[in-house]
Amino acid sequence: MSRMPRSSLLIAALAFGCLAADLAAQRFQGRRRPGREESGAAPAAEAPKAERKVAAWTAIVGGDVHTGDGNVLRGATVLLGDDKIEKVGHDVEIPAAATRIDASGKVVAPGFCVVRLQGVAAGGGGDVRDDLNPFDPSIKMALAAGITSFLWQSSGGSNTPAGKSAVVKLAYGDLAGMVREENSVVSMRVPLDPASMANLRKLVRQARDHLDKLREFEGKADAKPEDRPKPPQGSEDILAVMQGRKRLWIGAAGGGIGFGGMMMNRGGGGYAVREVRQALEVAELVGNGVVLDLPIEAWVIPDEVAATASMAIVTPRNVVAADAGRPDDTGSNIAQAAILDAAGVPVTVTVPVGGYGGGPTVGTGGILGRDLNTPNIEAAFAVRGGYPSRKALRILTLDAARIMGAERRIGSIEAGKDADILILDGDPLNYKTFVQTALVNGKVVYRKDEEPFYRHIQR
C-alpha cells in the first residue's frame, strides 16, 4: 500500500458528519501458519447434541441486520432462544409464544465490545466475581452508548505471560449473567533485556517438551491416567498461549510512547518499531499471533505484523511526534488502522492517553472519546484515516471480540452466539445515532425511552 504524506494523515480535527458505514464486507479470515502448537492430541469427534429446550423465545423482526462480520441482511429476523441466537435470516419460523420486537426502519447490530473500560460495574479488585456491581448506574450509561461487554484484567505479567482476565457482560441486575468467559487473555511487556528473553525462551522450550511428551502419552493405547505428564511448574499460561487457549497481549513497559499526555516527543523507549518487532519475535517463539497493545509504529511494518497472525489495539487520535530526520516512518499515524487492515491485521480501538493523566481507557469521566457516550468515535477516526467504512463496525464487534479471546461467544449475530444485540435508529458509526434498545444474554436491559440520558431527544 502506498503511504500518504504525513501532513495529510495527522489531522487535527474530525469532521463530525455522517460517516456512512455500508458494512457489506467479507469477514477477515484469520491466518494460520504451519507448525503451530494447537493441542496435545487431535480433537475427539463430538457426540451428537441433544435438542436444546428453550423457555423463552424473542424475535427481532424487520430490521436491517448488520451481522458484525461484514454482511447486512435487509429486513431480516433475529430469533433468540433464551440467552442464545437461534436463527438469523428472512425465512425464519417464529414460535407462536415468542415475544416480538419490531425493528422496522432500524439497524440491528451486535453489542459493542470494548477492550479497555474502567469505572463501570467493576472496580480494581483482584477477583472479578467479588468486584462486580450489577446495579451500578453507569452500566445503563454504557448500554446507552452500545457497550454490552468489556475485558476486565488484573495482575498482568511483566517479562512472561501472566494475569487474570474475564469478559464482563453489562447484564444489568443479573450478577450470574455478567461473567461468561474467564481467563481468555494474559499479558506481558516489552522491551525485554537479554536475560529476560533468554528466560522466556527457556520456558517455551520446557512447554514444547511437555507437549511432545503429552502427544506421546496420548498416542499409547495402554496409557494410564495416572501416568499423564504434568506440565512444568509455572508454565500454565505459556502452554495456554501456545495451544491457542489464551490471547497474549504485549504492551510497553513504562507506558510507551506518549505516556503522560496526548502530544509528546517521540521517546527512545516506548512502543516504536523496535518494540513491535520484539513483540513479533515473541509471537514467533510461542507459535501463535499476539495482540499488540497500543503500538505507535506498527503501521511502519504491517506485513511483518500480518505474517505472525497478530492483531492490534490502536488509538487513531493519538499524536506522537516523529523523528525530525525521519518524518515518513516514525511517530503516530492516523492511518494506522487502515494500513494494518490492508495487510490483513484485525484491529480494535481505544482512546488516547488523557491529557490529565488518564490512561488509554474508556471511562466515566473525561472529554470526548474518554467517557461512555462516544465509543464509536474512535472507530470513526479510523475511517477518517482511510479504514474502509463498509466494514468499520467490526472494529467494535467481531475483531474486538477476537482480541478479547471471546469470538466464540460474542462479536457477531450468528446462530449459537450469545444474544447481545443493539437496535439503533441509524448507522452505528454516525455520531447522531442513538441506541433504542439493548439486549444482553437475550434480555432487554436498556430502552432509550425509559432512561434519563437521551429520552428527551426525539428525531
Distance CA 334, CA 46 (A): 46
Q: Which helix (H) or strand (E) holds 286?
A: helix 273-286
Cell 479488585 locates to 125
> What's residue 409's pLDDT?
96
Q: Look at residue 94 and tell me if it is in a domain.
A: yes
CATH number, position 305: 3.20.20.140
Q: Look at residue 16 and tell me if it is in a domain.
A: no
> What's residue 49's pLDDT?
59
- CB atoms closer than 10 angstroms to residue 303: 11
Q: Look at residue 13 and tell me if it is in a domain.
A: no
Q: Look at residue 430 and tell me if it is in a domain.
A: yes
> What's residue 122's pLDDT?
79
Distance CA 313, CA 288 (A): 17
pLDDT in tens, the chain (459 residues): 444 444 443 333 333 333 333 433 333 333 434 333 333 444 445 555 566 799 999 999 999 999 998 889 999 999 999 999 999 999 999 999 999 999 999 999 999 999 988 888 876 667 888 889 999 999 999 999 999 999 998 877 789 999 999 999 999 999 999 998 899 999 999 999 999 999 999 999 999 999 999 999 999 988 888 989 999 988 899 999 999 999 999 998 754 443 333 333 344 334 899 999 999 999 999 999 999 999 999 999 999 999 999 999 998 888 888 888 888 889 999 999 999 999 999 999 988 766 544 567 777 765 544 567 778 888 999 999 999 998 899 999 999 999 999 999 999 999 999 999 999 999 998 889 999 999 999 999 999 999 998 999 987
> What's residue 119's pLDDT?
82
Q: Look at residue 42 and tell me if it is in a domain.
A: no
Distance CA 284, CA 242 (A): 10
Residue 446: give the domain boundaries.
55-450
Q: Look at residue 1 and tell me if it is in a domain.
A: no
What is the pTM assigned to this prediction?
Answer: 0.84
User: What burial class does residue 380 get, using C-beta atoms within 10 Å of its C-beta: 0-12 exposed, 13-18 middle, 19+ buried?
Assistant: buried
> What's residue 386's pLDDT?
96
Q: Look at residue 136 and tell me if it is in a domain.
A: yes
Distances (CA, A) of 173 to 170, 178, 338, 428: 9, 9, 39, 26
Q: Look at residue 254 and tell me if it is in a domain.
A: yes
Domain count, the chain: 1
